[in-house]
Amino acid sequence: MAKQGTGSGLVGLLSADEGSLADQWIDSVVGSLKGRISKAEVGRELHELYGALVEALRAGGTDAQSQEMSETRALLTELSRNRARQGFTPTETAISVLALKRVLEPALNGGSAADVAAYLELGRLLDDLALFTLETYARAREEIISAQAVQLMELSTPVVKLWDGVVAVPLVGTLDSARTQVVMEKLLQALVETGSEQAIIDITGVPAVDTQVAQHLLKTIVAARLMGADCTVSGIRPQIAQTIVALGIEFGDIVTKATLADALKLALTRSGVDLVTRGGDQR
Amino acid sequence: MTAAWAADEEPQTQNIAHNDDVVRARQQVRTLAQRCRLSLVDQTKFITAASELARNTLVYGGGGELRSGLVEREGRRGVAAVFEDSGPGIPDIDLAMTDGWTSGGGLGLGLSGARRLVDDFVLDTEVGRGTTVTIVKWAR
Ligand SMILES: Nc1ncnc2c1ncn2[C@@H]1O[C@H](COP(=O)(O)OP(=O)(O)O)[C@@H](O)[C@H]1O
Ligand SMILES: [Mg+2]
């Protein structure tokens, strides 16, 4: 029954002067966030949290992972996700929990032995909850970063329609498996949507073509062909051409052109467009 | 090593444990190749060879380490990269060096192609111990 005893000791500690404790906690957190969140918002968050914490302690939960703490954890999850999204640092996030420890410190002065024991136990609980907050924060940050990476991937692989029946993908940067998958899907989709039969993949912006990049390119081209499209690779710079040859990569019957303009000219000819130069001009 | 690291600086190391590390490995040797004043073609060849070997270290060696830096031999300057893993090793070197042979789903041109892209290529491997590949490209 000792556990029950401490549990209620914790509740006692927290609800001794409930209103002013919560207010001090809120003030200290608001101060540490330097006005980047309104006091009203922090107040709402922390009041809910305070309520859930007292509720959990009343129900006998003294462990951060316990069933009784699930509401508290849910609130902390929301809090740390919001902080991560708003660009707060890990410290600024964890302080929301840890500040409560500081606010409770006066209970140590002149408190009974039971108060001190209760403070220490609550301190451990708050430490664990702060760690939980940091974990959630880190996870939220990772999710944000990988979502941005996906967005960037889509942003950096536009499929453009150059002419009726001709689409092109200018590739810029490193081609890894994930990105090639996106390129391939977008190209095939664009072929269908625009009813195009000519596709140009321009690699002017790809710094190095190793065997993996080449294999991804070849797969994309085979897939486009299966859909009845002709594929041309353009923008193979001299240093890339020499490297591809030395590596021993064979592009087989895949048509390659030095520049996007050359590839476009070929694609137009193939789709039956007559390129006429008006008299007097060159070419 | 086929040559001494340039006396005035330590080689850099780069862990190879994730896909992103292959990109980092490429960037590391790119910077060195530029500092070594390799021609654009030689830079691209060296970076591409490094890309192949970094990926092999990751995929077949189960991860490892890249050490790279400038090297000197008989007054010539070059750039070197050493890829080391303690993976399964390569049981049949001749087979692994054959154009088009792969034990995975690759093009089978990484090892043989990398050898053609550089000036010095040393493959040291033992089943159960791991694999070390050293490449050097000399400034002309
Ligand atoms: N670091 C390594 N450790 C173990 N095996 C390797 C290593 N590097 C290459 N290999 C073996 O050599 C083969 C050929 O490698 P490579 O020429 O790069 O072709 P690919 O990567 O396309 O398979 C690989 O399939 C693999 O079996
Ligand atoms: Mg390989």
pLDDT digits (tens, 9 = 90+) for A12-28: 777 776 678 888 889 98
Average pLDDT score over residue span A73-95: 92
pLDDT digits (tens, 9 = 90+) for A142-168: 888 877 777 666 666 788 999 999 999
- Pick from B40, B107, B116: which is nearest to A211 by CB? B107
Ligand 2 center from residue A181 Cα (angstroms): 20
Angle of the B40-59 helix axis to the B19-35 helix axis, nearest 10: 150
| Of B48, B30, B49, B27, nearest in space to B38 by CA | B30
Alpha-carbon span B54 to B68, nearest angstrom? 12
**Across all residues in chain A, what is the average pLDDT?**
86
Name all domains of chain B by residue range, CATH numbers in brackets: 12-138 (3.30.565.10)
The response to whether residue B87 sits with its C-beta less than 6 Å from ligand 1 reads yes
Alpha-carbon span B102 to B79, nearest angstrom? 28
Residue B97, C-beta contacts closer than 8 angstroms, at least 6 positions apart: B111, B112, B115, B123
Query: B109 and A211 in contact by Cβ < 8 A?
Result: yes
Residues A95, A131 contacting (CB under 8 angstroms): no
Ligand 2 center from residue B110 Cα (angstroms): 4
For residue A242, list chain B residues with Cβ-Cβ distance below 8 A: 41, 44-45
CA atoms in the 13 A half-sphere facing the CB of A144:
14
Name all domains of chain A by residue range, CATH numbers in brackets: 2-148 (1.10.490), 160-270 (3.30.750.24)
Ligand 2 center from residue B120 Cα (angstroms): 18
Residues B86, B130 contacting (CB under 8 angstroms): yes
Query: A247 and B116 in contact by Cβ < 8 A?
Result: yes
Average pLDDT score over residue span B67-71: 96
The residue assigned the tokens 């193979």 is A236
For residue B24, list chain A residues with Cβ-Cβ distance below 8 A: none
Query: A239 and B43 in contact by Cβ < 8 A?
Result: yes
pLDDT band (50, 70, 90) for residue B3 = low
pLDDT band (50, 70, 90) for residue B28 = very high
The response to whether residue B56 sits with its C-beta less than 6 Å from ligand 1 reads yes
Window 56-115 of B, Cβ < 8 Å to A: 99, 106-107, 109-110, 112-114
ipTM over 0.85: yes
For position A154, what pLDDT does the model report? Answer: 63
- The residue in chain A having the minimum alpha-carbon distance to the alpha carbon of residue B118 is A246
For residue A246, list chain B residues with Cβ-Cβ distance below 8 A: 45, 113, 116-117
Q: Tokens in use for A187?
A: 């190209």
In A73-112, which positions are buried (b, 16+ CB within 10 angstroms) versus exposed (e)? bebbbebbbbbbeeebeeebbbbbbbbbbebbeebeeebe
pLDDT digits (tens, 9 = 90+) for A47-60: 999 999 999 998 98
Residue A149, C-beta contacts closer than 8 angstroms, at least 6 positions apart: none
Q: Is A214 on the interface with B (CB under 8 A)?
A: yes
For position A86, what pLDDT does the model report? Answer: 87
For position B122, what pLDDT does the model report? Answer: 98
- Best mutation target among A179, A210, A237, A240 (most B Cβ atoms within 10 Å) is A210
pLDDT higher than threshold 80 for residue A281: no
For position B39, what pLDDT does the model report? Answer: 96
